[in-house]
Amino acid sequence: MPLDLNVRVPKFDKLTDFTRMAARIGLTGFAVPLPMSNPITKTNDGIVLMTRIDLAGRGAESIKRQLPRIRQRTSVIAVPLSDIEASNWAAEDSRVDLLTIAEPSKEYTIRESTAKLAGQNGIALEVPIAPLLRTSGLDRSRILKVYRESVATAIDSGMAVVLSSFASEPILMRAPSAMWHIGILLGMDKRKSKECVYQVPDQILSRSERKVKSQSFTPGIEVVREDS
Amino acid sequence: MRKLRRRYVLFRLHREGPAIDVHQLSAAIRKNFLSLFGEVSVADSRLFIGMYNDDEDTGILQCNAESLDKLLASAALITAIGNTQVSFEPKRASGTLKGLQR
């Protein structure tokens, strides 16, 4: 199931345009940063809509405070790669789904140690495609450098990679077949690139469905007594 | 001289804005391909858009098999052609035209 985990729908009234485009290009669902009553819903067109939150704040402490409140209300939780402390903390917390290269122009690449931790906890590296669409020439080559280095580090460290559009307009969304070709530009082979588009987002959705259930616990926690 | 293997790709161009013609499309793909991979790659690609229906925004492009993935990646990164915003979607690839129409 090809899903786009990062579509920047600005308002609810624009949602129909994005849903229509998703159906046209062959996506089965996408995640939006809008508050919805259910973390995962299905539209009449059969498109799966997921809620997404990008945890941004000043350092790990701020992110830690936000996380417990939102996990059961949100299907995709992403933490931008910026501060090393926050990134390393997020890479260890399996409530987080994605580490995002949010500002490729600032040349933040993922560190090997962070990628290893994230790989062990099933957290994927998210590569947004929109910056590649907005730029050209030298600016685009700088972004490609950051992306290619990060993708290589993630794959070598056993971390999954997800390609998402980061589209703020429907026309900036890309078909899954176009997305995996862009993955080849990021240094992946065909098989890996298809996996990033068709399999990894689907696995994140399935895991999310389990996480948002109230009976779900983080690995390592055991129920020792239940009050009846 | 080694015989070049060709690939044919059925594609759809989603657009917002006025229709574009085959020359504009082919120039836009070549320009992006040139920017990403250089002059030698463009020369080797043998890109040719044989068919393009601007009512349905679908077409068939042909190219050298070795350049196929790079070429489609370049096309996928095109956002606008003239005043028309576009999103390129490769549908199916085949080694023969007949295979594509099947």
* A79-127 pLDDT tens trace: 999 878 888 888 998 889 999 998 877 778 899 999 999 999 999 999 9
How far apart (Å, rounded) are the C-alpha atoms in residues B71 and A137?
Answer: 17
| Distance in angstroms between the alpha carbons of the first and the last residue of chain B | 31
Cβ contact (<8 Å) for A171 and B15?
yes
What are the residues of chain B with a beta carbon less than 8 Å away from any beta carbon of chain A?
14-16, 35-36, 69-70, 72-73, 75-77, 79, 85-91
Specify the pLDDT at position A208.
83
Give the side-chain half-sphere CA count within 13 A for B71.
29
Q: Nearest residue of A to residue B93 by CA position?
A: A177
Domain segments of chain B as ranges: 6-94
Counted residue by residue, chain A has a size of 228
Mean pLDDT taken over chain B: 94
Minimal Cβ distance to B14: which of A132, A136, A171: A171
Domain at A52-211: CATH code = 3.20.20.140
Minimal Cβ distance to B79: which of A24, A26, A133: A133
pLDDT digits (tens, 9 = 90+) for B8-54: 999 999 999 999 999 999 999 999 999 999 999 999 999 999 899 98
Specify the pLDDT at position A136.
93
How far apart (Å, rounded) are the C-alpha atoms in residues B11 and A135?
Answer: 24
b/e code A37-49 from CB counts within 10 Å (16+ = b): eebbeeeeeebbb
Domain segments of chain A as ranges: 52-211
Of the listed ranges A22-26, A28-32, A62-66, A152-156, the one predicted with least confidence: A62-66
Question: Are A162 and A196 contacting, i.e. CB atoms less than 8 angstroms apart?
Answer: yes
Kindly report the CATH class assigned to B6-94. alpha beta
Q: Any idea which residue has 């065909």 for tokens? A: A190
How far apart (Å, rounded) are the C-alpha atoms in residues A50 and B36?
Answer: 34
How, if at all, do strands A3-4 and A29-32 pair? parallel
Task: Name which residue leads in pLDDT, A32 or A83.
Answer: A32
Task: Name which residue leads in pLDDT, A226 or A5.
Answer: A5
Residue B101, H or E segment: helix B97-101
How far apart (Å, rounded) are the C-alpha atoms in residues A106 and A39?
Answer: 32
Minimal Cβ distance to A181: which of B15, B87, B90: B90
Q: Nearest residue of B to residue A24 by CA position?
A: B14
